Structure 1
């Protein structure tokens, strides 16, 4: 028999113990300890859901203020302008670390961060110290934040919103002469930043688009199934219906539920199990995030219809057909300030396809881009999800800090397309010095090749237009006639995204008070079980199996949707034509 050599090397803590490990010498005690811990975690898990429901109610009663982890003052309230919109400009006033105060530099251009109106409230860009706001402060920039309020102004349109955002830019120009602001747009705020850049030539500095779609038809199989939803539902008529049922308001809970449906494994199991498995370590993080996630904001019918018809279904922004108001069409070629596009391959809501494919649609080749004198820089994260682009502390400390450190170098680049590469951190503790080695590698527009499904989406657009006409002619007037403020509020309160959470509040379920009583006593006697316990390993194995099964369900569903979409708008569509990405028939 060959003896194995001995080693003094410590075991790797990242290696999960064998799930078939033998039970300790006292299996009864091990089982009792696990059952006790399981009971304790279960009670604390239910108590966390109870507290989430109460936080949701308290946040709504407080008027849903922006969830910024920084002190601020309001500079301009868009609701009081001659063309009002439910936006306001804040100035971040608090410096949370001594180093920030040392680094503050009034000679640096201001940074204006704009959060998306995608069903939730503002604040995700400044949710914690390690955030876009925190990194901009650390780099010495005066920081401003464009927030919005829960309800739109009566009859509010996209034109009104853009007018107010332009006033914000003009205000920053007055407060910081000769220092055009850096515009930071998150998710759907990216198209607003693009419109501002096209409309405010000379007033704005570099624009950073984080997880922001500008090419709404782009994508490929298994990457972003959300882009198919408009075709599978028959177009924008559903948006008209939901807004009419809401009394002219579109409930943001619809958008939140849509996001959650993308990953059933995470929504139905994984997120809650991660909380349950580490209830002591994850409780506060879970509650903080859920306070933001469950704070649903509304859009006016005029806004949501314009967004869906012009962007998601019409794809008019990259095609130069987006008419903000009669006689004013947006042309992305008018953008002259440098652009930084930050996307992630792990983002199934705005993959790199949708963030970048507008470039070859607007500039046919690299020569055209250079002739326009434009500088476009893109940065790709290999794995982080959509929300991680804005929320992840790791992403904030690496990508966002690196972007802000190098934003002053963009104007020195020759016109063209570049990929931003971030080398390892320097480790220099002096915050006046760059923390990363950043380089810009030149790329060619011709290399941005993504699958083209424009013909199918052209047919979706045509069908949507017909269905909207039918709805507004025969159905819409009756829906608006029978809808009352009471019925609209009832539908809002009964939305599953609300009821599934509020059902755990003792205000609706008095017996949850007993859960609170038990949880308070459980906290005094924690009995955690080591993860090496065979019972804990079995629990983890069961959870992994459930996650895999639900992931398979989601993948299968998406595959079926893609097949149905292609059959409906590809192979079976009568009178098939060939259409290029700009909508010109050949």
Structure 2
């Protein structure tokens, strides 16, 4: 146990060092692949902090050799939800890697840590639409396959519905488009606006940030969703530090790279999407010229979601379909083809980072892209079959479904009341409080306050600067290793087994507490807001 404690402490020390090094370097994208810049959103009008890269090389694996002349280009857009870009391509077996393996030239959309001053959601959407056009022009008009992860997915949906832009195929991975949908007691994040007062806290945090919203707050919300997962992350490291160290550090380098959003941008996201749920009704104003209308998307779509995802469950990924298309016939009349693919258990991050998911689901989507584009208008479920060999892409069949089969049970009433309350409180805050805070907190003061955020402080507390003795941890671990302290056969030790049983019990207790917390949150939300409004639409049924 002494050696494992020292190794764990040294791993946390190294995480803090990696975090400081990454921040000092300007937090560049964490891509496993070499690339070159093609376009910069700062040069567009209106400007934003997004950039378009072309993947040129895949290290020693040389996956770029698989690229076929004339193959449709793939453009991957990572989520801007607190972290930096890279999750779609920070290892070989990833979305980028599978696209190269399937022979596609690959482009990757990244964004800088700081937004452009005054950056709006409309500027981001217009830049993504411009990038789609730029990629098509580079390939003789061949429209790209656009691949969006979480926020990147709904941002692409907005771009494709913005003044009728087109792509060859749009793949939305874990992307919410129905923000009030969810399963009772399972998806508590959708209730957050009711407990915080709606949009004004995001405005307040942005004012305290000198006009920028710190993404560390979003990451903190994600960690709070499943506390047993956070416990197991550290407990697994402590149990097997020799096995888990490299994997832990690789993931944490991305997980702890906190990026920023502009005040106007985060307010539009919270107001129009997550609290307002205006996208289904076509009421999201992208800019002065266009509104986002999901029914105007004529690009074939693939929706990949998982029943193990408590951030973007299938409810939030699919419930917009019957809201936008009342019947299968209306979907067919619109000439649209929509394919959905579900996973039974993988979590939200696993949709993007799991090597197994990359080799199976993502490779299959890309391998069968042309088949999807040629489907007759309608709704289909993509069912994967076993591949003919471990190196091959999985076979797939496309089973016709009906919009009417996507039945969604009513969610707790009250979301419209939360929207009304949010609008009222935001008006009061913007008029009476925001000007005072903006006058008191300059951008310079805001930068000085950043290290005090709990997500940063808890990581940097393990740095050598905070605890000088940690500088000796590598030497202590090596010394203990020479004396046989690692104990490779510790799994046979009864004390180790007792420790593991206790840790498993703690994890189960945290999971039980989380389940009760979420059920109480649902009940409290219903009791607080149900009498003020009519039911909204949601789901807890598996689409079939």
Same fold, judged at TM 0.5 (above)? yes
**Distance of aligned partners of 1:521 and 1:300 in 2 relative to their CA distance in 1, 3 Å threshold:** same
Q: Does residue 472 of the first structure (1) align with residue 430 of the second (2)?
A: yes
Greater alpha carbon shift after TM alignment, 509-518 vs 438-447: 509-518
Aligned to 2:500: 540
Aligned to 1:50: 13
Aligned to 1:510: 468
Aligned to 2:278: 316
**Distance of aligned partners of 1:45 and 1:98 in 2 relative to their CA distance in 1, 3 Å threshold:** closer
Per-residue CA deviation, residues 52-79 of structure 1 (Å, 9 max, x unaligned), is 0010000000010100001111111212
Q: Count the aligned residue pairs.
A: 536
Instruction: Provide the C-alpha distance between the structure 1 equivalents of 2:61 and 2:346, rounded to a whole number of angstroms.
Output: 30
Q: Does residue 448 of the first structure (1) align with residue 434 of the second (2)?
A: no
**Distance of aligned partners of 1:485 and 1:212 in 2 relative to their CA distance in 1, 3 Å threshold:** same
Q: Which runs of 5+ in 2 are unaligned?
A: 539-544
Aligned to 1:352: 314
**Distance of aligned partners of 1:288 and 1:527 in 2 relative to their CA distance in 1, 3 Å threshold:** same
Determine helix, strand or coil for the equivalent of 2:366: helix
**Distance of aligned partners of 1:98 and 1:562 in 2 relative to their CA distance in 1, 3 Å threshold:** closer
Determine helix, strand or coil for the equivalent of 1:436: coil
Aligned to 2:541: none
Per-residue CA deviation, residues 180-210 of structure 1 (Å, 9 max, x unaligned), is 0000000011111112222364641100000
- Structure 1's consecutive aligned runs of 4 or more residues displaced over 3 angstroms after TM superposition are 95-102, 200-203, 522-526, 576-581
Kindly name which structure, 1 or 2, has the bigger radius of gyration based on alpha carbons: 1
Instruction: Provide the C-alpha distance between the structure 1 equivalents of 2:153 and 2:247, rounded to a whole number of angstroms.
Output: 27
Determine helix, strand or coil for the equivalent of 1:72: strand
Q: Does residue 86 of the first structure (1) align with residue 46 of the second (2)?
A: no
Match of 1:424 among 386, 392, 407: 386
Per-residue CA deviation, residues 5-53 of structure 1 (Å, 9 max, x unaligned), is xxxxxxxxxxxxxxxxxxxxxxxxxxxxxxxxx1111100000000000
Determine helix, strand or coil for the equivalent of 1:255: helix
Q: Does residue 527 of the first structure (1) align with residue 490 of the second (2)?
A: no
Match of 2:245 among 283, 295, 311: 283
Q: Does residue 173 of the first structure (1) align with residue 136 of the second (2)?
A: yes
Aligned to 1:33: none
Match of 1:155 among 97, 118, 131: 118
Superposition RMSD on alpha carbons, in Å?
1.6
**Distance of aligned partners of 1:98 and 1:473 in 2 relative to their CA distance in 1, 3 Å threshold:** closer
Instruction: Provide the C-alpha distance between the structure 2 equivalents of 1:55 and 1:458, rounded to a whole number of angstroms.
Output: 44
**Distance of aligned partners of 1:200 and 1:409 in 2 relative to their CA distance in 1, 3 Å threshold:** farther
Q: Does residue 299 of the first structure (1) align with residue 257 of the second (2)?
A: no
Q: Which runs of 5+ in 1 are unaligned?
A: 1-37, 582-586
Instruction: Provide the C-alpha distance between the structure 2 equivalents of 1:577 and 1:292, rounded to a whole number of angstroms.
Output: 42
Q: Does residue 77 of the first structure (1) align with residue 40 of the second (2)?
A: yes
Deviation at 1:286, TM superposition (A): 0.3
**Distance of aligned partners of 1:55 and 1:113 in 2 relative to their CA distance in 1, 3 Å threshold:** same
Instruction: Provide the C-alpha distance between the structure 1 equivalents of 2:352 and 2:208, rounded to a whole number of angstroms.
Output: 32
Q: TM-score when scaled to structure 1?
A: 0.89
Instruction: Provide the C-alpha distance between the structure 1 equivalents of 2:289 and 2:443, rounded to a whole number of angstroms.
Output: 35
Contact 1:120 1:256 in 2 (8 A): yes
Deviation at 1:577, TM superposition (A): 4.5
Determine helix, strand or coil for the equivalent of 2:51: strand
Instruction: Provide the C-alpha distance between the structure 1 equivalents of 2:47 and 2:479, rounded to a whole number of angstroms.
Output: 52
Aligned to 2:542: none
Aligned to 1:370: 332
